[in-house]
Amino acid sequence: MSSEAEHIAIANRNQAVLEYLLHDPATCAEWVAVVAFYKALHVVEAIFSRDSTIGHIHNHHTRLDKLKREKQYKKLFSSYRVLWSAAIVARYLEDRSPTTGAGAGRLYSRFQDYMPIADLRPMLLDQFLASFERDAATFLTPSCGGLSLYAPANAQLRQSVSGQASRTGTGI
C-alpha cells in the first residue's frame, strides 16, 4: 500500500504533465482530461491511505462508491465523478456515467463532441479540478501534504497581469 506522500508525488507529476499539455490543449484535449482525472485519483488515494477503515482501493467503481457513501468524503464525490466521466469519454468515447442522465451510455466519435476544447479549461479544470483540490486539501496533512495545486486560468491571468504591472509601474 502506498503512503500519502507517494500518492501526492504521483499527483504532482500528473500536475506537471497537465501544465505541459495545457500549452496546446487543442492537440491533446483527451489527455488533459485523463491526466486531470488521474491527478484527482492519486489525491483520493492519498486521503484513503490516511483512513485505516478504507486504505488503498484497486477499482474505480469502488472508489466512486466510497466517495459517494462515506459521509466525510461526500463533498469530494461530485467533482471527482465529473473528472472520472470526462476521462472515460476521453479514453473510450463512451459516457459510462453510473446515472441514467441524458449522456449515460452515449457514444462519441471524438472527445470534443463531449466537451468542446473551449470548455476544457474553464469547466473541467477551473471549476471541477480546482474545486476537488480545495475540498480534498482538508483531508491531507498540513500544507496539503505537498500537493501542487492546479491554478485556474483566471488566477494565472491575474498573476500575469499583476506581474506586468509591477514591472511597468502601471499599478493595474
> Over 50: is that where the pLDDT of 168 sits?
no
Domain boundaries, the chain: 4-168
- List the one residue out of 73, 87, 2 whose CA is nearest residue 39: 87
Query: CA–CA separation, 171 vs 150, rounded Å?
Result: 26
Which three three-digit cell numbers place residue 86? Answer: 470526462
Torsion of CA 84, 131, 15, 43, to 10 degrees: -70
pLDDT score, position 97 = 75
3-class secondary structure, 107: strand
Tell me the DSSP string of 109-168. SSHHHHS-HHHIIIIIIIIIIHHHHHHHGGGSSGGGGG------HHHHHHHHHHHHHHHH
Per-residue pLDDT reduced to its tens digit, 107-129? 999 999 999 999 999 999 999 99
% of the chain with per-residue pLDDT over 70: 84
Per-residue pLDDT reduced to its tens digit, 35-65? 999 999 999 999 999 999 999 999 999 999 9
> Over 90: is that where the pLDDT of 149 sits?
yes
Per-residue pLDDT reduced to its tens digit, 85-112? 999 999 999 988 766 555 668 899 999 9
Average pLDDT of the chain is: 87
